[in-house]
Structure 1
């Protein structure tokens, strides 16, 4: 069944806005705009897997490796980087795509690099020694302050202005909408900050914080874990918060970091967003490390260290635990050749939902805890503009790195050229839209073609930029069917996550899914953790 333009815009941008958009621009001409849907061909991947069930590689196509890493996102790359750093060389990383990095990958055109997903990293606290060590190795650190916290070189910190928000025809500074706020709004914001300060300063009997990174270092105290039993929306209501601006701000935080709405997000995860990156109450949140290509800079760095250990275009078909190791069967999609690896250990760094399709034992008897891991869909677009959109008013706050629409279900866009100080001429704007846990969100997303998605993006952007249609030269779109784990209530601090973190025979799991939130810090933690765990096991076995 084919939907009308009005129906599609209403689904993604809301009916009132869709009606106005169709009235103002009844016909859309995209003939002068180039672009395509990029990324994995999901349907063909599924068909290939189905067609290869029970098929084994020829004897001459088998090889031996002590460790195989399945998946080349941040977790898999971190595991590979850590193995190499510890002097271990007998491993391979298999990646389905022709490009490494998962949701942290980036793109590049003739004048700038740009992100395809995650696009910043808050400066870690000094206690996160492994991550601090990576930043030092990458030469991003210029020293330490009097408290031992790392200082990042200025060129890698987010350039000002950092954020702005579009509301009722005007751009304003920041992400919280202060313009037009009432006394009640001000009082509620102040009271909300007091609640946040309480949790920032909270410590358990062992001195552990309620919220920090990595999540493995968070307190397991019942007072903290009980926050996971309700939604963030319910927590706000219980605390008596009703300010529309505050509710929007908290909802935006959930959509931005988790791809979920306020009432879909665990209160633990909601408070984690506001508390985990502030050292103590009264302090600012940790500054952001930003590159034009987003977290693609970390992907490129890891890849540069392990390039010879990576096999791209490698579709893993089956992982078979054996008496003395694990067999991994994969298809080289370029050569159309089925290959196999006899491994001692496997690091499974793909999203957890794929485990039931790839691990033979899980295909036959899926572990109950895996059914609680749910992922939500997103789409991301990179718009190449020949020039910057003009401000509507001299009083508008200027183009920032992060640009958000208050009245839109999208997250707005980031500007790739901002960090480079390229303030004039061509630019790339990266637009983000989370499906927010919709039951059929993935189906809706993949039912649309490039033209229909481009229409949604341009119509949404036009609310703030009337000249967008004359400026855009190209729109490339990537659909993430399972973009990130969903930290819904009763999941983040649950036994399901603890069970999933345990090895299954000789298969070790490493992914941000295992933290319940999709953050680079968590993917890095699980990748490095698992690498050390695997080496310890191999060493013990040899002994």
Structure 2
């Protein structure tokens, strides 16, 4: 760590909790450090937006439509525009590769995710996500109830998930071993409440909790839940079982990057209800690929003309002018200034970046900006010579450490390896920095060295996997300083989120998952398509909406 020299045990306790620190110290012994590196590169470049004025080019390039940001939202906007036949769509991206937090990597063993790693199978045969899945051949047909069916090889096969608790691996995510009658009764009652929320409809027939979240009912009966934290709602409703509270806390950290104490009750309930039908039947499962949602990114890019996406470009100013927007940028490598005059612009970046980029907002900070909170994450990919050894339930796709602040890891090769196969593999490890003080959490994540991260990942892994140090071949670490927006209490149905998504004039439109309050693929895709359809309307094109 940069400011204070911590002991190994203090380091592990600070990041992963005291239980992991104690267990790791019991398992400690001499070992060689796993070779590797911290691989994120755009942190310092992005921080140039906070400095003084940046150079502007003298020559301005005309563009019909310019999309700023090649994450899922920006690529979805470009995909929609390309499908409508709009020519001359350009996409600029700060990173070298498109995808944002859905980006992926590859080594000699496998492709692997650098962020989002699955997509819940949609319940209904409508909307842009299903359209995208159809384009890539993932939808095979539709059943008698109108639900899409999916290519079997893309659905995560068994075993799907397990957790490690006190020396043993167990199936699923609920700790049944040692559960009391009272624990199990609370679980049954909680599931019944979630089924009730999932089946709830308003007078207009809208689901109380829908995917994407913007299609949910705005009736006060349900939106009032946004004022509470999920933890407060659990307490109010008498859900006090430590085992159930762990499951709910895990769900909040998994989808929202922070604990139930800091997540809106509306968002927490949405997690358990939006993807099921109210009869306890969830969607058909989860769709995943070795590279995670990087496969969806690749599909979106493939729909665009060659060369439409340009990486290593820092857009620093978007200024509405007569006839469109002037967009100023720098080439990341050379520092060469670039300028564009775009008839229409989709700014597909988080609100905290947009506030530095949109010229009118630099002059007068938007009132809604303080309503947005972004949590940091750290993702690490660990390459092994063979699957890790473990005691208890066998290796699954999702492998959770019950007593750790990390989420554990997913196995990149799960969909391709047979259960008895002993070939090399890649484990993708996730750590949401879930503390309430996001600035302190961000500084902690960014100040840790590769040696720190190597010690942390291996401290998390070694108690559950004897001999893993000898199997480890390489470790690469990606730090996401502002990985995802947090749906804090009052945010999902508050004024800030609504105001932030409004277009600025007739030529500047916004798209990002943070406009939905959740850092999820479905939200980013929906807002990208929405922004594109606003562009189409301004261009005078009449199109049937995909939303």
Equivalent residue, structure 1, for 2:258 = 260
Q: How does 1:289-304 map to 2 (within 5 A)?
A: 289-304=287-302
**2:539 match: secondary structure:** helix
Q: 1:200 aligns with which of 198, 201, 208?
A: 198
Q: How does 1:223-302 map to 2 (within 5 A)?
A: 223-302=221-300
Equivalent residue, structure 2, for 1:421 = 417
Equivalent residue, structure 2, for 1:172 = 170
Q: Is the 8 A contact 1:277 1:285 kept in 2?
A: yes
Q: Is the 8 A contact 2:199 2:207 kept in 1?
A: yes
Work out whether 1:399 is the aligned partner of 2:395. Answer: yes
Q: Matched residues in 1 for 2:63 and 2:158: separation?
A: 48
Question: How far 1:54 sits from its partner (Å)?
Answer: 4.9
Are the structure 2 counterparts of residues 424 and 343 from structure 1 closer, same or farther at C-alpha, using a change threshold of 3 Å?
Answer: same
Are the structure 2 counterparts of residues 496 and 301 from structure 1 closer, same or farther at C-alpha, using a change threshold of 3 Å?
Answer: same
- Per-residue deviation, residues 122-144 of structure 1 (Å, max 9, x unmatched): 11122533221111111111111
Work out whether 1:15 is the aligned partner of 2:18. Answer: yes
- Per-residue deviation, residues 88-143 of structure 1 (Å, max 9, x unmatched): 01221000010110000101111211111101111112253322111111111111
Are the structure 2 counterparts of residues 19 and 181 from structure 1 closer, same or farther at C-alpha, using a change threshold of 3 Å?
Answer: closer
Question: How far 1:360 sits from its partner (Å)?
Answer: 1.0
Q: Is the 8 A contact 1:28 1:455 kept in 2?
A: no
Work out whether 1:389 is the aligned partner of 2:385. Answer: no
Q: Matched residues in 1 for 2:19 and 2:86: separation?
A: 59
Work out whether 1:3 is the aligned partner of 2:5. Answer: yes
Q: How does 1:79-478 map to 2 (within 5 A)?
A: 79-126=77-124, 128-306=126-304, 307-392=306-391, 396-422=392-418, 423-439=421-437, 440-478=440-478
**2:442 match: secondary structure:** helix
Q: Is the 8 A contact 1:377 1:482 kept in 2?
A: yes
Equivalent residue, structure 1, for 2:545 = none
Work out whether 1:525 is the aligned partner of 2:521. Answer: no
Q: Matched residues in 1 for 2:294 and 2:262: separation?
A: 29
Q: Is the 8 A contact 2:42 2:94 kept in 1?
A: no
Question: How far 1:352 sits from its partner (Å)?
Answer: 1.2
RMSD between superposed Cα atoms in Å: 1.6
Are the structure 2 counterparts of residues 372 and 27 from structure 1 closer, same or farther at C-alpha, using a change threshold of 3 Å?
Answer: farther
Equivalent residue, structure 2, for 1:42 = 43
Q: How does 1:55-94 map to 2 (within 5 A)?
A: 55-59=55-59, 62-94=60-92
Q: Matched residues in 2 for 1:45 and 1:219: separation?
A: 37
Q: Is the 8 A contact 2:45 2:332 kept in 1?
A: no
Are the structure 2 counterparts of residues 205 and 123 from structure 1 closer, same or farther at C-alpha, using a change threshold of 3 Å?
Answer: same
**1:308 match: secondary structure:** coil
Q: Matched residues in 1 for 2:67 and 2:444: separation?
A: 32
Question: How far 1:421 sits from its partner (Å)?
Answer: 2.5
Q: Is the 8 A contact 2:19 2:403 kept in 1?
A: no
Question: How far 1:518 sits from its partner (Å)?
Answer: 0.9
Normalised TM-score (structure 1): 0.95
Are the structure 2 counterparts of residues 25 and 370 from structure 1 closer, same or farther at C-alpha, using a change threshold of 3 Å?
Answer: same
Equivalent residue, structure 1, for 2:537 = 536
Question: How far 1:14 sits from its partner (Å)?
Answer: 2.1
Q: Matched residues in 2 for 1:197 and 1:463: separation?
A: 37
Question: How far 1:313 sits from its partner (Å)?
Answer: 0.6
Indicate the larger mover: 281-290 or 206-215.
281-290
Q: Is the 8 A contact 2:54 2:316 kept in 1?
A: no
Question: How far 1:28 sits from its partner (Å)?
Answer: 5.8
Question: How far 1:244 sits from its partner (Å)?
Answer: 0.7
Question: How far 1:42 sits from its partner (Å)?
Answer: 1.2
Q: Matched residues in 2 for 1:2 and 1:26: separation?
A: 24
**1:241 match: secondary structure:** coil
Question: How far 1:161 sits from its partner (Å)?
Answer: 0.7
Q: Is the 8 A contact 1:49 1:317 kept in 2?
A: no
Indicate the larger mover: 302-311 or 337-346.
302-311
Q: Is the 8 A contact 2:19 2:404 kept in 1?
A: no
- Per-residue deviation, residues 344-395 of structure 1 (Å, max 9, x unmatched): 1210111111011111111111111111111000000000000111123xxx
**2:112 match: secondary structure:** strand
Q: Matched residues in 1 for 2:64 and 2:336: separation?
A: 22
Q: Matched residues in 2 for 1:415 and 1:379: separation?
A: 17
Equivalent residue, structure 2, for 1:485 = 485
**1:164 match: secondary structure:** strand
**1:107 match: secondary structure:** strand
**2:244 match: secondary structure:** helix
Indicate the larger mover: 183-192 or 323-332.
323-332
Indicate the larger mover: 406-415 or 37-46.
37-46
Question: How far 1:291 sits from its partner (Å)?
Answer: 0.6
Are the structure 2 counterparts of residues 24 and 420 from structure 1 closer, same or farther at C-alpha, using a change threshold of 3 Å?
Answer: closer
**1:81 match: secondary structure:** helix
Gaps of 5+ in 2: 543-547
Question: How far 1:43 sits from its partner (Å)?
Answer: 2.1
Question: How far 1:26 sits from its partner (Å)?
Answer: 6.4
Q: Matched residues in 1 for 2:465 and 2:27: separation?
A: 14
Q: Is the 8 A contact 1:391 1:398 kept in 2?
A: yes
Gaps of 5+ in 1: none
Q: Is the 8 A contact 1:211 1:219 kept in 2?
A: yes
